[in-house]
Every structure is written in structure tokens, then in C-alpha cells.
Structure 1
Amino acid sequence: MYSSPLLPREKVFRDPVHNYIHVEHKVILDLINTTEFQRLRRIKQLGTSSFTFHGAEHTRFTHSLGVYELTRQICDNFKHNYPTKEPGDGLWDDDANRLVALCAALLHDIGHGAYSHTFEHIFGTNHEHITTEILTSPETEVNQVLRGIAPDFPEQVASVIAHTYPNPQVVQMISSQIDADRMDYLLRDAYNTGTKYGLFDVTRILRVMRPYAQGIAFESDGMHAVEDYIICRFQMYQQVYFHPVSRGMEVVLQHLLQRAKFLYEHHQLGELTPTLLVPFFENDFTLHDYLNLDDGVLNTYFIYWREDPDDTLRDLAHRFLDRKPFKSVTYSQETRGLIPKMRDLISQAGFDKDYYAALNDSYDLPYDAYDPSSKEPKTQIEIMAEDGSLRELSTLSMLVAAIAGRSTGDERFYFPKEMLTKTDGGLFTPIYQEFQSYIHNGAIAAPQGRKDTTDADV
């Protein structure tokens, strides 16, 4: 069992989603005040989505506090309503698990880097592995705070992130198909993007959650609140997380970093040496190097690169900083064969097709019933009847059954907006006309039921 001294007086953080975030343990406040956790203030939660939804300026810091708060409420519910009576009864042992759960919830995203997912793709980093390293490395303030509880406490918290902690209830609080992480980011992202898709009855869901021997279940009289959560999650992915303009800006960012890396490797980068990025260009970085980066550091380099002698780097920096997203059209396996022709036309128009054309796909599985034969079987959502029997959610909900196991999303081909320029004459008119003919003739097109994003940014 692990314990932490209580603060002389409870600390609260005002939060636009949860109203108050309550901190009573000294270790939680100490972790919030570490250098590594404060860095999360400088990393946006939604990355390039702020170019589409201008309110999406919230950070990994605010999200992490929110996940902590929801986990605290879950622990309180379990402690008051389902306390363990004897070993092995499958109920909640608060003394043994609360502090581990709270610390894991707070720190679950601490390994995210600058423009996290795009950066990971270019430089091969892994935020989950880095989270574990931050927790267990004696070099970090986070590790020092955790070791103040017990020598093995950092490893215990890290095991929750790695899904190896012996109590599945704690693991499922932080990582499952309905957990504190997902519930907070849906509510928080909906609030900050100004959308309504992510709004669901979180109070009711927290109320009907209950522990059992194999993890967490939901009482049957709260099933419709859980069902609503699944539908809201589905809508948020389709309308916010997979928005084609956000992805278009992500493609620009990806190619901008790729071009900078290429120029550095070929000793062609301008006079400014991006000192903090050099370890990543050389694939020889330390945890300290990683923690020195945030969104602001990258943006500062981008500002310098907007004046770089290299035409491509300079143009891509301008497109990213000044919000000039690549346009896109969807494609399928039947129309994929047209893409090489379109890439060639982009090249003929004077653009380097390695940096001005890209394929991008985004897919999500809104809900997946447990399949032990799958490569990575997910923890299914269990509904508990009054007699204690369990049934998987999609067997009870027609709505959830309709989307269970069905991947949703699309594949897109991205290109410069200039390829859609309508010209009355000039050298490149045939190039543009042929390029546009593939789109306007319906060979490749924006998806039905959605505004054609080749004609408008939002």
C-alpha cells in the first residue's frame, strides 16, 4: 500500500469542463509542479486542429488535469459504494490502488512531444515509451517525486501505462474503450472546438461504473448513457479529429520537417543551426533533448525557415505559419491508379512532388466487441444486470451493434491549392485542366454528404 501526506488545505484548479479539479494529496501537487509536467502547457492537445477550429488552443496540461479529476471521482465512487470486504471479492481496495491510479491518470500523457503525432512519424519517437522513461529515469523531477512515496512506486505507476499493473480496474480507468482519458478529451475537445458532438452525460456514466473481479462494468440502468458516449465518440472522430483541413495542415507540417531534415543531412540548411532539433536530425537524442522541445520551439524555427534560401523549405514554412493548407480529394482502391498521373502533373506544374503531394488516411474503430483471436483484443464494455450477470454492450444496443467492428474514415490525396487554379490561358493551363478533370469528372472526389473540401477550407 502506498500513501502520501495530505495537503493542509485542499487545492483546487478552476476548469471549464469539470468546474473544479480537486487536489488533496501532496504528491499530486508536487507532480503538477515538476518541470516535465509544466512542459505540457506548451503542447497543444489537438495539434494542427486549431487551424480549423480556432478555439482548439487547449493543451496536454489541461487534459491531463481533467483525466486526473475524472479518475479521482471514479475512485471516490468505488470507495463509497463498492469497498472491498475480503480479499478476492472483486471490489475496490482504495488503500492499495488509489494513489497509483491518480498518479497514472495525471501522468499518462507526459511523454507527448511537440506536435506529437506528426513529430513521432518523422523522427520515430514513441510517446508511450517516453512516458515510461520519464516516470522511471532518475534524471527527471517526476521520478524523484514518485520515489518519495516508495522506491518501487515509479515502476508501479509506469505499469499502469504499460497495462501490466496487476489490478485490471486501475488499468481500465486509464485505458479502455470507455475510460477517464477518452471521456475527458471528448468533453474538452468538444468544448474548445465549439462542437456539440462530444457532449454526453459523464455524470451518469461515472455514477453507473462499478468494479468487478475482471475490471470495470456499467450498471444496466445506465446503459443508454454509455450508448450515447459511443455515438458521441463516433461523431467527434468523423467531424473533428478527421477533418480534412486539419489533416491538410498536418501534411504541410510533416513535409516541412522532412525537408529540414533532408537539408541538414545534405549540409544545405541555411545559416541558422536548429540546435534543439539536431539530435533528432542525427537520430541520436536523449530524454533531455526530447524534453527541450515543445510547439513553441518548432514554431520559432519555422519563422526562421520562412526566410531560408531553400525555396521548398521557405514555402512550406510560409504555408504552415500562415495557414495555407494543402487541398484534398478522396480516393479508393478503384481510383488509386490515377494518383501517379496526378503526382506527375504536380511536378510538371513546378512543384516537387515529394513535398507537395501526399496520401493520408484516417480510420477509427468506434467500438470493438471483444475478439480473443484478434491481434490486439480490446477490453469490451460490460453491462451488469441486477443479478450480477454480464453482457457485452453491442448485444444489448442496436445503435452500438450497428457500428461495432466497423472501421470508419477515408483515404485522401493532398496537393497544393494552386493545382485548382482556373486559368484562361498560359503555359500551364493544360496541366491544370487535366489535373482538375480527374476531380470534376468524378474519378476522384470528395465524399458524398460532406462539403467539397477542394472548394473551401472549412
Structure 2
Amino acid sequence: MAYKDEQLHEVKVFKDPVHRYVRVEDQVIWDLIATPEFQRLRRIKQLGTTYLTFHGAEHSRFNHSLGVYEIVRRIIKKIEHREDWNKDERLVCLCAALLHDLGHGPFSHSFEKVFSLDHEQFTQRIILEHTNVHTILRQVEDGFPEKVAKVIDKTYEDKLVVSIISSQIDADRMDYLLRDAYYTGVSYGQFDMERILRVMRPTKDEIVIKSTGMHAVEDYIMSRYQMYWQVYFHPVTRSAEVILTKIFHRAKYLYENGYKFQMEPTLLLSLFQNDVELQDYLQLDDPAVYFYFQRWKEETDPILNDLCSRFIDRKLFKYVEFNHEIERDTYDRLCELFEMVQIDPNYYLVIDSSSDLPYDVYRSGEGRIPIYLQMPSGEEKELSTHSVIVDAITGKTREDHKLYFPIEKIRSIEDHAIKEQIFKLLNFRDH
């Protein structure tokens, strides 16, 4: 029997709090899960710094990746008898689902922004270069790693496969909404996934939704919207991300300017040098970065020392509502006052906008594939043209701007006149 057709002697299951069970039937999938590259995902938190806001959010990319695989497995079970589904695409679809987040680095998106990295590119590199994952995929058939990488890259010829993994209503989004809601303890991300799976219909290029399932999709869309604003954009989480980002910026700046670390950050040197080899990247995970943060608490550089202590001990920045476009003069004056009392505004006066973060709410157009409803006549209608609820939030951009600052440093300013000016400009009442 060919490797690609090889089934396990008995179905293996992972007990899962979201899907109850994750079932593995294929030897290929079982072997991929056992690779060091996939096991590394156990050591990367799914929600980055969110655990500092919602203490239960300790789940990993490993959990999520298994969950996405399980949803895709169920979708295929639902649609495999339909004419528009090509049964030969089953394994590439399952592998892409399992491996879609393989390239995430520690703390995910904050890490990517500072070092100008792209986790999807690293995912493709892990699939295509000399790794254990590549070796397994190559055994399936010639060109199979390239097929999986193209699904991740959204350039695969079978657009239906791509839409199952990455679209406005895909397995990735469905799993992270349910999983993140479960682990953060909120109810916003709950929706009727089983109903959505029942009303999914494959077409040549994408999954569409039977019109009778419209209300389940509305619930899903609103769950996404609420999760972004109540969890993903939570201002306390963003405070932690601001500090995390500034730690990376400071460490890189110090390295570039010849600073002698008490212990050389060996695992991070390729990042500082903007020359990241794949094997160097695969050594990075949350515990590795935490180790350096712990050591940097003892560094002689006061800024790096302070920022790492804040992150490790959860002494986060305070914040006020602040729109830089409107309040540019206020920000410039605050920077001047900070510099006068030797508080570096580059690290301690930070504007953060939720619109800059790489999460999105449902919007048709703008290069995104909309969700289509399949009407009784067979005609397809874009969701927002048929749903009053979705139409109400479609195309509307919501932004949130915050100014973050260290309240303890402001309180410790000895010049009372400057201190009062700062509090007044911040419109912050110190209790």
C-alpha cells in the first residue's frame, strides 16, 4: 500500500476541550504530528500576551493546529460525496490544515512586526526545505510538499481547498474563535459550528452556505466581531504587547550599538543581524525568549532592565484614549516633557492603534472573498446583501487608539510643575 493511502491500525484520538476528540486515521498525519517542528508548537502560546489579561489563555499553537485539522476532517466528511469535491485533494487539505501555523515564532505577531518576519513564509520554508516535515511530505508523492505550501500561500490550483483553510468562514477562524473563547472564559466567541458544517456546500472555487443556515453564519460573524474588541484588542493585552515590542527594539538597538550583554543572546543573534536561517528560527519558542527576559532583568542598561522586569512581573503601562492625528501637538509636548525629566519617550510614551493589528472583521470586497449564500433557486448571493445584521457592520472601519505610559515613572518625577503638566496633557487623574 502506498504511504499516502496508509491508515493507522486503529484510530488515534486526542482528547480536546473544544471538539471533544481530534481523530487521526492517516499514517501521514500521525507522523507529521510527531515531528520536532510540529511539537515545537506546544511551546508557543496561541494568544501571545493575552494570558496577562485572561489568565486561562495558556493554550498553544499545537492545540489550535490540531483543532483546525479536526474541523477540516469533519468538513471533508460532510462534502466528500458531492460532485464538486475532488477526493484526490483530501490528504493535501488535511496536511495544510494541520501545518498552517507551523512557522509562528514566539509571541507570534509582536515578534513578527519587530523583526519584519512573516510566519506564513516560514511555514512554507519548513514544508519545502530540509526538515522532518518535508521528509514525510515528500514520501507521499513527488511534488506533494509544494502542493501543501501552495495551499498555505493561497496559490493552489484548487480554490475550494484554499477556501476551506483560508477564507471568511474557514476552519482556522472557526477553531480559534471557539478555542480562544473557551480558554479566556468569555462567551463572545461561541457559535453553532455544527450547524455551519451541516449547511456548507462545495462549489468549484469555494465553500458556500445553504441559505437556511444564514442565521448561524450571522452568529459566527458577530462572535468574531465581539472577540476582536473584547479579547484580541483588549487594552491591557495591548499594554503587554507594547512592552514586549519595546524589549525587542531595545535589545536589537543595544546589540547594533556594541552593548556587551552579561550573557550573549545567542539564539537571537540572527534576528538582530537580519539574517535568519531556518534552523535558527526553529530554536525559538516562548520559553527561549522568556529565558533572555529573565536574564535581562539583571542587565546594566536601565531601559532593558526595567522593561523586562515590567513584562515578567506584570507591571504594565497605563493608558488613555488618544488619537495621534487629532492630538499631535499634545503628543509632541509630552515627548518634550518626558525628555526633560530623562524618561525616554521612544520606550515609555507609545501610541497603539488596534486597527494596526493583524486581525480583521468580516468585510466583503477589498480583495477578500465574501461569504455566499446558496439560495433555493441555486443562485448565490453575497451574505451582506441578504442579512440585515451583517450589512450593518460590513465595510465599517472601527478604530481604537491608546497612549501607553509608565505611571510609576511619572509619579516619581521630582519637579511637581512638570509632573502636573504631564498629568494634565494626558487627561489622567492619578488616584
TM band (smaller chain) = over 0.9
The answer to whether the aligner puts 1:427 opposite 2:414 as a matched pair is yes
Question: How far did 1:93 drift?
Answer: 1.6
CA distance in structure 1 between the partners assigned to 2:98 and 2:33 by the alignment = 8
Which residues in structure 2 correspond to 1:151-230 (within 5 Å)?
A: 151-230=142-221
CA distance in structure 1 between the partners assigned to 2:317 and 2:383 by the alignment = 40
CA distance in structure 2 between the partners assigned to 1:23 and 1:398 by the alignment = 40
Instruction: Using structure 1 for the length normalisation, give the TM-score.
Output: 0.90
CA distance in structure 2 between the partners assigned to 1:455 and 1:228 by the alignment = 41
The answer to whether the aligner puts 1:437 opposite 2:415 as a matched pair is no
Question: How far did 1:331 drift?
Answer: 1.9
Q: Which residue of 2 aligns with 1:6?
A: 7
Q: Which residue of 1 aligns with 2:368?
A: 378
Question: How far did 1:141 drift?
Answer: 0.3
Instruction: Using structure 2 for the length normalisation, give the TM-score.
Output: 0.95
CA distance in structure 2 between the partners assigned to 1:190 and 1:347 by the alignment = 42
1:183–1:202 CA contact under 8 A, matched in 2: yes
Question: How far did 1:409 drift?
Answer: 2.9
2:297–2:308 CA contact under 8 A, matched in 1: yes
1:238–1:409 CA contact under 8 A, matched in 2: no
1:419–1:435 CA contact under 8 A, matched in 2: no
Q: 1:369 aligns with which of 361, 364, 367?
A: 364
Q: 1:127 aligns with which of 108, 119, 142?
A: 119
Q: Which residue of 2 aligns with 1:149?
A: 140
* 1:9 to 1:414, Cα distance in 2 relative to 1, 3 A: same
Q: Which residue of 1 aligns with 2:303?
A: 312
CA distance in structure 1 between the partners assigned to 2:197 and 2:303 by the alignment = 51
Task: Name whichever structure is richer in helix by fraction.
Answer: 2
Deviations along 1:38-57, one digit per CA (max 9) or x if unpaired, are 00000000001110000000
CA distance in structure 2 between the partners assigned to 1:107 and 1:127 by the alignment = 12
Which residues in structure 2 correspond to 1:58-457 (within 5 Å)?
A: 58-80=59-81, 82=82, 84=83, 91-94=84-87, 96-137=88-129, 139-332=130-323, 333-363=325-355, 365-370=360-365, 374=366, 377-418=367-408, 421=411, 427-440=414-427
CA distance in structure 2 between the partners assigned to 1:345 and 1:248 by the alignment = 22
- Pairwise CA RMSD: 1.7
2:54–2:184 CA contact under 8 A, matched in 1: yes
SS in 1 for 2:425: helix
CA distance in structure 1 between the partners assigned to 2:260 and 2:251 by the alignment = 7
1:260–1:269 CA contact under 8 A, matched in 2: no
Question: How far did 1:381 drift?
Answer: 0.2
1:242–1:409 CA contact under 8 A, matched in 2: no
CA distance in structure 1 between the partners assigned to 2:226 and 2:3 by the alignment = 40
Q: What is the percentage of aligned positions where both structures have the same residue?
A: 49
Question: How far did 1:418 drift?
Answer: 2.3
- Code of the aligned partner of 2:424: S
CA distance in structure 2 between the partners assigned to 1:409 and 1:334 by the alignment = 14
**Equivalent pairs, count:** 426
CA distance in structure 1 between the partners assigned to 2:299 and 2:239 by the alignment = 23
CA distance in structure 1 between the partners assigned to 2:37 and 2:403 by the alignment = 37
1:346–1:419 CA contact under 8 A, matched in 2: no
- Code of the aligned partner of 2:112: E
